[in-house]
Amino acid sequence: MFRILRFNPEIDKKPHFDTFKVEIKGRMTVLDALENIKREQDASLTFRRSCRSGICGSCVMRINSLTKLACKTWATVEAPKHSAILVEPMENMPRIRDLVVDMGEFWREIDRGKPWLIMDETQAADLTRENLLTKEQLQVSSKLADFIMCGACFSDCISRVFDKNFNGPASLAKIHRFVADPRDKDPLGRVGRLVEIGLWSCTHCYFCWSQCPRDVRPMAAISTLRVLSVAKGDASEGARHVKAFMDSICRTGLLNEATLYLKTMRLDVLKDLDLMIRLALKGKAPSPFRLPIPRIDEVRLMYRLMEGRVEK
């Protein structure tokens, strides 16, 4: 049984679900089932598809509430887990018809990150010479170049639902691809522009990691960009939060919630004054005093040993 979200703007005022019965057998994918429905039950069912091999990214859609490639998702695996296989268009993008969305927003966010190599003048002047990467350098950027631009991470990004200034996981991972490329002329400039396009909007929900059909792990790239941004002197609240965490652990081995509040929020902490009073009355307001853990010297030694070891 398939429950598919239908929407034809010429007829429907709002989207609705239609139910279709399909005999699920053998190595049937969700895409196979959709094609079966289109061929045998309802020719008006609209969806994108092309390569059927997980390369083009066209058939990406929400299957049982998570964004996946229909051609890589086994109906035989989905069916036993749910009473009906729920199929919906991607989130965070306007619907055009049935399972087809307008991906314009996704592409605009990708462009906002300038996803192209900015060469310096000498490289640009002599394009006859190859400018090769070492094997190690290639390892970082080739993983990030595995993107098929399907938009699955953008669709499942929770922050993007609520924060339209967040350019999304794909765009940030694409930026990291060029920050990590030694041929790029402006890696520091790219890092410097990250805060304004939402570097600190990611919540670590890991949906972009779990749902990427190419295992690109955009969130890992976001974390690396944050490391670089902090190291470059980022003074935003997000960076202050990281530094406050680090300071607190180095000092006592533990998180000091009170100093984390103060160092991250500074005067904005006053917005929570009422809450802090109520917490204090209940005996659970964060205390600025925390004794160091036993063997704190070991933690501090590790700090000294690892200081400055930040890699792209």
Partner 1 sequence: MRYAYYPGCVAKGMAHELFDSTSEVAKRLGTELMELTAASCCGAGAQNEGNPLLNVVLNTRTLAQAENQNLDVLTICSTCQGVMCQVKKQLKEDSRLFSRTNEALDKIGLQYKGKVRVKHLLWVLIEDYGLKKLESQVTKPLTSFKVAPFYGCYILRPPEALEFEDHEKPRSLEDVIKALGAESLHFDGETKCCGFPILFFQRKTAFEMSSQYLNNAKQKGADFMVTPCPLCHISLETYQKKAQKQARIETNLPVVHFSQLIGLALGIKPEKLGFSKHMVSMLKVLRGL
Q: How far is the CB of 118 from partner 1 (least distance, A)?
A: 25
Report the helix count and the strand count for the chain, using DSSP H and E. 15, 7
Report whether 98 contacts 89 (CB < 8 A): yes
Task: Examine residue 310 and tell whether it contacts partner 1 (CB under 8 A).
Answer: yes
Tell which one of 125, 138, 270, 302 touches partner 1 (CB under 8 A): 302
Contacts 24+ apart (CB under 8 A), 91-94: 91/62, 91/67, 91/155, 91/156, 91/161, 92/154, 92/155, 92/157, 92/160, 92/161, 92/168, 93/151, 93/154, 93/155
Task: Examine residue 1 and tell whether it contacts partner 1 (CB under 8 A).
Answer: no
Tell which one of 115, 163, 186, 192 touches partner 1 (CB under 8 A): 163
Q: How far is the CB of 234 from partner 1 (least distance, A)?
A: 11
Nearer to partner 1 by Cβ, of 124 and 301: the residue is 301
d(CA 35, CA 39): 6
Tell which one of 158, 183, 192, 193 touches partner 1 (CB under 8 A): 158
Task: Examine residue 89 and tell whether it contacts partner 1 (CB under 8 A).
Answer: no
Instruction: Select from 20, 5, 242 the least CA-distant residue to 100.
Output: 5
Task: Examine residue 242 and tell whether it contacts partner 1 (CB under 8 A).
Answer: yes
Bridge partners of 2, per DSSP, are: 20, 85
Tell which one of 82, 116, 131, 277 touches partner 1 (CB under 8 A): 82
Instruction: Select from 91, 87, 93, 95 the least CA-distant residue to 38.
Output: 87
Task: Examine residue 251 and tell whether it contacts partner 1 (CB under 8 A).
Answer: no
Site for partner 1 in 209-238 (CB under 8 A): 209-210, 217, 223-224, 226-227, 230, 236-238
Show Cβ contacts of residue 99 under 8 Å, excluding neighbours closer than 6 positions.
4, 5, 34, 45, 46, 47, 48, 61, 87, 88, 89
Token pair for 61: 């859609």
Instruction: Select from 88, 112, 111 the least CA-distant residue to 98.
Output: 88
Task: Examine residue 267 and tell whether it contacts partner 1 (CB under 8 A).
Answer: no
Applying CB under 8 A, the span of 36-44, 115-123, 135-143, 287-295 interacting with partner 1 comes to 287-295
Residues that bind partner 1 (CB under 8 A): 64-66, 81-82, 158-159, 162-163, 200-207, 209-210, 217, 223-224, 226-227, 230, 236-238, 240-243, 245-246, 248-249, 253-255, 257, 260-261, 264-265, 271-272, 275, 278-279, 282-287, 290, 293-295, 298-299, 301-303, 305-307, 309-310
